[in-house]
Structure 1
Amino acid sequence: MRARGRAGMRLDATDRRVLAALQDSFPVCRRPYAEVARRARISEKRLLHRIAGYKAQGIVRRIGPRWDARACGLDTVLVAVSVPRLKVRAAAARIGALAGVTHNYLRRHPLNVWFTLASASPAERRRRLGELRRLIRPRRMLVLPATRLFKLGVVFDLGVRGGKGGEISRGPIPAPRPAGGARPRAALGRIPNDLPLVSAPFPPGTVGAVRACLASGRMRRFGAVLDGRALGLGYHALVAWKVPRERVGEAGRALASFEAVSHCYARRTAPSWPYALYTMVHARDRRQASRVLREMSAAAKDSGRAILETVRTLKRLPLVPSAFPADPGRGGPSGRP
């Protein structure tokens, strides 16, 4: 996704080098900002000043971990509900207060509220969703577990050579694996969700913990999380694609190859909801998005799609695995041995 920067936010060559290093190749060491400054060919003091400016402008949301929920032993699902327009505010508040909800969006569709839910186990997830159903009484609720990952990772193209552009995968979604008990989970809790802007930002002992989590796969990456809207990508939509089951792999790989796509998953279908593939699409505006979606449709050879434009972000917080209690009797929060 080529980011330009919106009006009033001009990014110079140094900005682009800094932001590329922060999001895509952040050094996990005692003095990471000194290393980023060296790559950007500026002083560490100037670098920290620039990052503070990016945060003030909303370009950098945080600098921290992106966890793999299932690798941390958590059950995760995408949930969609249909609620009357006049009840959206109250429903959004109920959903946002539900433990384990990290992202919640209002979308332009009869299924108008979409959120992600992480739970310690499938049984806990069913209990929470049952409680939510009683509280908000939606017209409809879809629970859509992922079955396969094709692409994940919002890494914005800033015009700097060597960027990775996101994580590509062609494998099925693994079952949640044990998180290793209370002591390892306590160590995860010491890893900052947002590094402070000081020369030595990592608390004692956490550099090794971050490296271990990256090596084990529990952490997908560590670095800056940028805001696409602040970078000039004002259009965001979740697009659900209808393709035959036997073509999900082929179509998923085709959709994941598009630069405008940050996320691409296969998910279970549901009665009267036949969509098997889901992509997050980012563009400057609806006109550019329409062109990209036509190209994506031709590549995927779909037989229909639902475009769920983002109307409003209701909640967007990082996953914090240490917030989920471990089950010492069964090896981890997922309850799997």
Structure 2
Amino acid sequence: MSSEKPGITHLGAKRSGRKKASVTRIMRTTEFPLRAAPTPRGQTPLPTNVGANYDTDWARRFPARVARRAARDTVVQTMVRYYAQPTIKGVDRLSELEGPAVFAANHQSHADTAVIATSMPEPWRNRLIVGAASDYFFGNRVTSAISALFVGAIPIERTALNRRTIDKAVALLRSGWSLVIYPEGGRSRDGWGQQFRPGAAFLAKQAGVPVVPVHIRGTFDILRKGRAWPRRSRSVINFGRPLSFDEGENNRRFTKRLQAAVEGLADETATGNWFAARRRLHSADSPGLEGPTASAWRRRWALTEPAPPDGASAESTTSKRRWPYV
């Protein structure tokens, strides 16, 4: 038979219940900064403030810009030099570019943005925003804040037409900010590219700015899709001549011309022969970004050889012939 008195037992149960209630309240309050507050019963939920609705204006104010520039020029620059060891080409082609532009690049891995941001010449690198997938980089408040502050990202819808994100990107371009965007809509699955979507062309036409084609090679081996930690490899980033809309040219035709320009840059990087690559581009005979129609191992094998050193041709560095000239 228990020696405890009924009053004491009841008092202990009440104290235990109060402790549990306090812990529950604390847990609920700690969830609030990371998740939206619950909507009272019977009320219409407010629009979510993450995803495409996340407001990034604060990340372009002076304190945030200073923090982003400091991080880029110290931590990010050091990591890019160590892991990516980039060779930068084509900067001279930007000599006649004035004002903001859309920098449209192929997309191999998450390392692409860091390589572009640290390779971009001034003045564009200091007024640079990145179009990032709203469903991936702006999924919650933590990732949204990190993406906006340290990447300079703005949310872009990949699967639907969102007027809010389009208007924001166009307004920033018109106010002097340059935009990095990946027209493929997602990272490469195996190192090869995908067909370009017309989003970059649409934004450039609405804002009245040129588009700079950019090709990146080698970042797939640094941080391929599914890999959590980077590994060292060599990369090449090649800037092309700015493109503007011809009279009467629509978004679809411009997108094809943009993709052809990136394919020409890829050919130039792979062969090391600028003149031959330009001739193939002029005759619409450049190798496609999508690679050979073959098995996975054959597609991967076609990407294994490194690009030739700057100024050297593929024929002078190896006796093997690269895709698609096999």
The structure richer in strand per residue is 1
More helix by share: 2
TM > 0.5 fold call: no
Q: Which of these two proteins has the greater Rg computed from alpha carbons?
A: 2
Question: Normalization by structure 2: what TM-score?
Answer: 0.24
State the structure with bigger RCO (CA 8 A, min sep 6), 1 or 2: 1
